[in-house]
Amino acid sequence: MTASFVKSVSREPFRLFFIQAVVAGLIGVILWPLHFWGVADIYPGTSHIRLMVFGFFGGFIFGFLGTALPRMLSSRPFTQWQVLTLLALHAAMVGAYTLSKILAGDFLLLSLLVTFISCVIPRARVRKDVPPPGFVLVGFAFVAVFAGTILSLIQSWKELPLFWVYLQRLLSSQAFLLLPIVGIGPFILPRFFGLPSGHNFPESLTAPPGWGRKALLALATGITILTSLVLEAAGWYRLGHALRFAAVLIYWAVEMPFRSAPGLSTAFGAALRIAFLLLLAGFLAVVFFPAYRVSLLHVTLIGGFAVITFVVGTRVVFGHSGNLDKLQQPNRWLLIPILLMLLGMATRISGDIWPDVLPSHYSYGAIIWILGAIAWAIKVLPKTAIVPDED
């Protein structure tokens, strides 16, 4: 491990977080075939959800924000000890959930959230720039997951009404994942099409002209999405998903330059279009088929969230390893892991539609998804060790 790499970890924590996130995802998915093959006795439902949300997606979120937020605030990067502490807490949390130690994992998750926020607040106080307006939704996400974690800890010693049990799950999973993706999207995703971002303002200590209007739209979108989760927790499944679908669709229609985007010239462009479509399709499908809402949620989670996560992760790694020019190439290799993961998604969903094949299809779907994730990791993650020379 070179000195330049060690030094870069504090400035760019994604270099280790992305690797740890992929490992957490592989563990979270392999639990299903291990259970159905008789290797693991404990039903992995709860562990799987937490490993995927907080281990896999959370690892990418913490790695991305730990790298991007100090730059966006024009503040100092995280220290090496802060990054190593965050990584250790994340790894310990993943270990606890893997062993089905849910209470211990939730305490570690709370510690991870508090530590991360404690790293961000001092930098926000001495900032020289305002973050992109869509990051209002990132703030909503952390409030939601913090509340969801507290509710989960309360459930460990006190039985709660079903409304609060369902709301806890929604805040901890959907809100924590959906809100950052929706909010960060207008800032970073137009770059894949070579387009300027409407959320990229000149450096300013106070909100520049136009920032407030976009922040208010993000605020309204966040409130609407959280309201949809409350409605779903109250049993209004169709209304909740319809409202969520409308909120995301309207926000992206206003803030994303879809009309100016070029055609399907690269695999990144195709993958993002697939992800946008499936993310919204998952919400809309529940409106028409609410009985299958748990299964159909995987359309949004895998086809939407996971594909966007891998695409953005690729952009981050390429951009910070001196390979940014490769994003303009066809990059057809990306279609292989994406198609494998989508095939795994479809196989997994089919297990819920035809219960007779549930064990085998859960297992096959998990293995196919793992193959897709490994294919992506082999192509991308080695570049996290590449630190370009500073001018």
Residue 109 has pLDDT above 70, yes or no: yes
Give, in degrees to the nearest 5, the angle at Cα 212 between 211 and 215.
90
Residue 182 DSSP SS3: helix
Residue 6: pLDDT above 90?
A: no
Residue pLDDT, tens place only, 332-360: 899 999 999 999 999 999 988 888 888 89
More confident residue, 229 or 291: 229
Greater confidence (374 vs 1) lies with 374
The Cα–Cα gap between 349 and 344 comes to 9
CA distances to 27, 68, 309, 315, 338 from 369, in Å: 12, 28, 14, 21, 9
Phi-psi sector, 322: left (phi>0), alpha (psi -120 to 50), beta: left
Mean pLDDT, the chain, rounded, equals 90
Q: How confident is the model at residue 391 (pLDDT cuts 50, 70, 90)?
A: very low
Confidence (pLDDT) at 259? 64
pLDDT score for 177: 95
pLDDT of residue 386: 85
Q: Which of 4-8, 159-163, 179-183 has the lowest mean pLDDT?
A: 4-8
Q: Residue 191 phi/psi, 5° resolution?
A: -65, -25
Helix axes 14-36, 358-380, angle to 10 degrees: 160
pTM of the shown model: 0.93
The yes-or-no verdict on residue 52 having pLDDT over 80 is yes
Q: Largest Cα–Cα distance of the chain, in whole Å?
A: 61
pLDDT digits (tens, 9 = 90+) for 250-305: 999 998 876 665 555 678 888 888 999 999 999 999 999 998 988 899 999 999 99
% of the chain with per-residue pLDDT over 90: 66
d(CA 171, CA 222): 12
pLDDT at 186: 87
Please give the average per-residue pLDDT across 300-316, as a whole number.
93
d(CA 191, CA 146): 31
DSSP-assigned letters across all residues of 10-31? HH-THHHHHHHHHHHHHHHHHH
Please enumerate in sequence order all residues whose Cβ is within 8 A of that of 1, keeping only pairs 6 or more positions apart, or say none. Answer: none
| pLDDT of amino acid 264 | 56
> What is the tens place of the pLDDT at every residue in 186-220?
888 877 766 777 888 888 888 888 899 999 999 99
What pLDDT is attached to residue 5? 66
Q: Which of 213, 195, 347, 218 is nearest to 272 (CA)?
A: 195
Q: What is the mean pLDDT of residues 220-241?
A: 96
